Amino acid sequence: MFKHYTMLHINKLLSQFISCVLLLKFSTTFAQNDVQFNTYNYDLMQLNVGAMGSSCFEANLNYRTQPLKVGGAPSLYQLNSYLRFGDKQAVGIKVYHQSVGLSEFNNITGAYAYKLNLSKNATFNLGVGVSFFQTAFNAHKAVVTNENDEVLQNDGQILRANNFDCEIGGELKWKELKTGLSVNHLYNTDKNMGNVSSKTPQLFNLYATYKFNLSQNLELMPWLLTRYSAGGAFLPEVMVNARYKKMFSLGVGYRYPSGIIANFGAELAKIKIVYSFEYNLGKIYKSLGSTHQIMLGFDLCQKKKDKAEPELKN
């Protein structure tokens, strides 16, 4: 009986130790930057809620995965959508679900944007978003020596945290130039999960692009983007995107210090399909493998019909 009690006690301590290690790993996940999408040149809501309103209605479904040789590889589903009212206002919604190992992240954001006409060729959009986050840490899914251990049966092992967040962004358009600045996690409440409490640092996104009309059928758009997480480092990237006959596009870029990005897109009627591939370079990033992203977009705007010229009477 003493031996049986000792084994149960050891199993319980082992389970607690594993849970603590996983919880510490989870707490470091809190401090990571937002997921870096590679298709922002097709869906600017990924970077900036102030970009809403360029079309009257748009919805983009995104899926991103990072295959690894171990279980629990990161994956993310995201929906970005907005509806424009009149010529100056737009409301939107962003929803995503992300899973990383034993952690799950769910978010819903409501957004509003307003356009200011600065001149004949210049406009400025200002957008704000308010988010609700729910985070879960599924410790009960951990592999341990005793699946019936009372520690794992405790409801407290499915740890959850709810918090609120907000973001702001502005975008300036002048002729073929477009530049924007956004701040994610401008303010967010504490995430309290068990004995772990944390806040997500502000994330700044600054970008600029210019569309060169090389011919009637060919457009070239270079993109410059830098991200900065408060207390972290600048992460710049550059991309060049070419579009042929406003239907087919190809983009190639480099993200410092991780790797190379490539996009392939097709726009057919009101539907656009994009595939993005990222190949990580360097010893540290190469061990994380490559990432794949697929985007399915819908633009349901009805094109305005050209008005018939009035007939001239003799």
Domain boundaries, given as residue ranges, for the chain: 2-299
Tens-place pLDDT, residues 5-53 = 444 444 443 344 343 333 334 333 333 446 778 899 999 999 999 999 9
- List the structure tokens of 146: 């005793």
**What percentage of the chain reaches a pLDDT higher than 90?**
53
pLDDT of residue 282: 66
The model scores a pTM over 0.85? no
How far lies 123's CA from each of 44, 116, 118, 167, in Å?
16, 6, 5, 21
Comparing 159 with 241, which gets the higher pLDDT? 241
Alpha-helical segments (H) within 48-101:
none
CB 259 within 8 A of CB 279: yes
Instruction: Read off the tokens for 174.
Output: 């002048």
- Fold that domain 2-299 belongs to in CATH: Porin (2.40.160)
From first CA to last CA, the distance across the chain in angstroms is: 113
Query: To the nearest whole number, what is the mean pLDDT of the chain?
Result: 81
The tokens 């389970």 sit on which residue?
15
Using one digit for the tens of pLDDT, what is the confidence trace for 116-138? 999 999 999 999 999 999 988 77
> Residue 312's pLDDT is what?
46
Place of tokens 């068990």: 194
In angstroms, the CA 135 to CA 26 distance is: 10
Tokens (6 digits) for 7: 């084994």
